[in-house]
Amino acid sequence: KLVDFSNLLTNDLLNKWEKILEDLDIIHQMYLYNLAETKIPKEIKLATMIEVFEPLVELIKDYNHFFVSLSPGERNTTLKMCVDATISKYGKDIFKKEYQDNKDMFLQKVVNSRIRIMHIKRMLKDKPFFTGTESLIYMVKFSLLYRCTILSLLNTDYELYRNQLLKIVDYWDNWEN
């Protein structure tokens, strides 16, 4: 767990969460379903987890007025832009390694992993995407990004869970197959 909610839980926080949950609608259910123990391949779970970040950007815009230049669902705003914006705002510690190594290659793999599931495979001939163990690792990392984003929308101080987040990220960055 990232943060001990017994130290944070107030009526105000609960009311904020209920409002966010209502606004998220089916998006939060998609997020939870992707984390559930099911027989669905992790590559499919990762693809649908990545999809969550387009509507999440819309919610962030409504709540915090960030990402004003992005309009998910319109031609000029891509999934890649939404994922990059969310990582740049809420996930620098989670994706530090990927962004230092090769940010553009990483973001392209993210998008290609979603395309691989939503379109026919030959469209990705010779293009990188996440498979197997990578899909599991990035399911965890995108789950952390989602959680950090929600905690920020709840006005939770990042320093309350930053150390725990860094431990989790370090574990997955160094996880051996």
- Each residue's pLDDT tens digit, 54-64: 999 999 998 98
68: DSSP letter: T
> Low-confidence residues of the chain, pLDDT below 70?
116-128, 176-177
Mean pLDDT of all residues in the chain? 87
The pLDDT score that the predictor gives to residue 119 is 56
- Whole-model pTM? 0.89
Residues 123 and 131: their CA atoms lie apart, in Å, by 16
Long-range interactions of 108-111: CB distance < 8 A, separation 24+: 108/80, 110/50, 110/79, 110/80, 110/83, 110/138, 111/50, 111/78, 111/79, 111/80, 111/83
The pLDDT score that the predictor gives to residue 69 is 83
The pLDDT score that the predictor gives to residue 89 is 95
146-168 tens-digit pLDDT: 999 999 999 999 999 999 999 99
The pLDDT score that the predictor gives to residue 175 is 83
CB 103: neighbour CB atoms within 10 A? 14
